[in-house]
A and B are shown apart, each in its own frame.
Chain A
Amino acid sequence: QQPVQSPQAVILREGEDAVINCSSSKALYSVHWYRQKHGEAPVFLMILLKGGEQKGHEKISASFNEKKQQSSLYLTASQLSYSGTYFCGTEKEKWSYGGSQGNLIFGKGTKLSVKP
């Protein structure tokens, strides 16, 4: 089941904040976030694992609500370089006690445009 991202698109001025949401109808093992600039390949941003472990970098943070099967990506004090399409990728839980299904299902993306 493909996760649902919202909003589909957002336009910001430099320095403004944005939140991108990702929700799934299935129990999740992890949520991954990627950013893709026009004409380029997706680039990894971070992983959020069930149990709260978070891995990532840059000035971007995220949360993962396991019970609600939702994740949110927070971009604060946006920069021009943040422009691009953000994808969440979800790993379904393989067993009730955990374990990964082994592959990502990506949402359709949120297009972020940061203007000067």
Chain B
Amino acid sequence: AQKITQTQPGMFVQEKEAVTLDCTYDTSDPSYGLFWYKQPSSGEMIFLIYQGSYDQQNATEGRYSLNFQKARKSANLVISASQLGDSAMYFCAMREDNTGNQFYFGTGTSLTVIP
């Protein structure tokens, strides 16, 4: 079974609008962390936001917020006020604490911001 599932291969959003990128995860470990990364066309991986499984509040970092629904095992990324520079691949990832240091990545969502 896939540990991380990103069901949207491609998404389009109008500039200045908000967009939600979906991520669901599968784990039986009660302690885990969820991460979102951005990969622009230049290829580097840029960390965006982190949510721990025991964190009470949803994480926010500037225009990025993580809609964490633990019971549904979802960790959707919300980008507000989209900018042209947000066009990139976005990857959701999970770290399970009982497996030590392994990370699992989803297959990614390609976001295109339309002017």
Q: Do A and B bind each other?
A: no
Q: Which residues of A contact B (CB under 8 A)?
A: none
The residues of B with any CB-CB pair to A shorter than 8 Å are: none
